[in-house]
Structure 1
């Protein structure tokens, strides 16, 4: 019984550390080495790097992807797919706003608002997302902890991400 309790506590502590790590900005602007790396363009500066583009991560269960395109002053549209095999996935669209290392994703037509971490080269979802986000996912699928890296920096590249849902298969998720 004690071993089970200790294992459960260890798992909770590990999850807590991962959530704190995911929410911590990946760049320390006060660090002189990181400032020099930014000035030399070795490290992206999220404050001066708009999130427009295509992000993805390929894995054994499929491909997670996020497209982001400009919409008005300081706003963006996005589309996202998280794959968990050939049939199981999450897919949604909405609007986004950037505030430094934070990227607020508000999904259309459902109660799902996620504050992701953006470091100029990747976007990471928190380890826990609102319950309403389950509406865009199949059973046993979730956006929790999804992380994608930038593979394209342009609006045209972002527009290559297409819907996998039967009703609108092949349509760009970041439609203009």
Structure 2
């Protein structure tokens, strides 16, 4: 199965401030191990992440590459791998097609894996944008309560996404536990 992960707030700690360097990038406890466990169970892992800090001039492509290299090294040290990383470097006002909640990043992932559709894939995120993008692309949306997840959950209670059933877990590790034990899947 293809599992698509948002990055900030799902894999790494995120408090709403831009993460501008590998030194500032810190994994959420258990997230790297969860990615490795999913890989070791035969799942393919892709990341879809909005990174408007590039367009805003907060950091450059070299810093983003260093953050992703750190992530990949940590996952590989646990015996897993990230198969593909898609990112949107654009400002929200740029009207690009890749910035979530639009589906351009997920389309890049679909093309990378030579898939006709993303039906059957899972999109794990901490924001409404992640859930909307995943649903629009045909993925099963999953919310984690880390990062912006608790706020997103509260807002979903007040304003659900029409026609979308969202599964919610405390964190990426709890999601991996459930998926690997086949609870609800």
- TM-score, normalised with respect to structure 2: 0.26
Larger helix percent: 2
> Which of these two proteins has the greater Rg computed from alpha carbons?
1
